[in-house]
Amino acid sequence: MAMNSMEGCLASSPPGVSLDPAVALFHSLSDATRLAIVQRLADGEARVADLISELGLAQSTVSAHVACLRDCGLVVGRPEGRQVFYSLARPELMDLLASAEVLLAATGNAVALCPNYGTDTTEEIVR
């Protein structure tokens, strides 16, 4: 299948309408660590040190992902002394994630089994 085909998972946009912002938004949320950070920040603000402790990841990893989310406008930082407390920039982000959960529940395992983006590993085991 050609990548610019209208078949399969790919959507087309009307002439003159750019999907670039939506692509950037979903790409910013496509990493498990960034998604975990967003979910944690939904419970309230946190410092990088808090995220490191709660997620069990290296400081450089958490900092890089927080910077990505900040650069995308999804997270904001509130400096307090030598610390920065991060929080979600827009409450609508949680609405988007709640809608995603509803969609995932409705589609069952279809997304997880998607040959392009799925997380199912049975194909690798069968080989």
pLDDT tens string 55-70: 999 999 999 999 999 9
Q: How far is the C-alpha of 38 from the C-alpha of 2, rounded, in Å?
A: 34
Q: Tens digits of per-residue pLDDT, 63-109?
A: 999 999 999 999 999 999 999 999 999 989 999 999 988 988 888 77
For residue 64, the model assigns a pLDDT of: 96
Q: Is 27 helix (H, G, I), strand (E, B) or coil?
A: helix
- Per-chain mean pLDDT for the chain: 83
The pLDDT score that the predictor gives to residue 114 is 81
Largest CA distance in the chain: 55
Using the predicted structure, report yes or no on whether residue 13 has a pLDDT greater than 60: no
Q: What angle (nearest 5°) sits at the alpha carbon of residue 112, between those of residues 12 and 102?
A: 75
- In whole angstroms, what is the distance from residue 34 CA to residue 1 CA? 30
Is the pLDDT at 21 greater than 80? The verdict is: yes
User: Is the distance from CB of 110 to CB of 126 less than 8 angstroms?
Assistant: no
Residue 86, SS3 per DSSP: strand
User: What is the C-alpha separation between 43 and 40, in angstroms, rounded?
Assistant: 6
| C-beta of residue 40 within 8 angstroms of C-beta of residue 55 | yes
Distances 19 to 22, 24, 38 between C-alpha atoms, Å: 5, 9, 23
- pLDDT value of position 14: 63
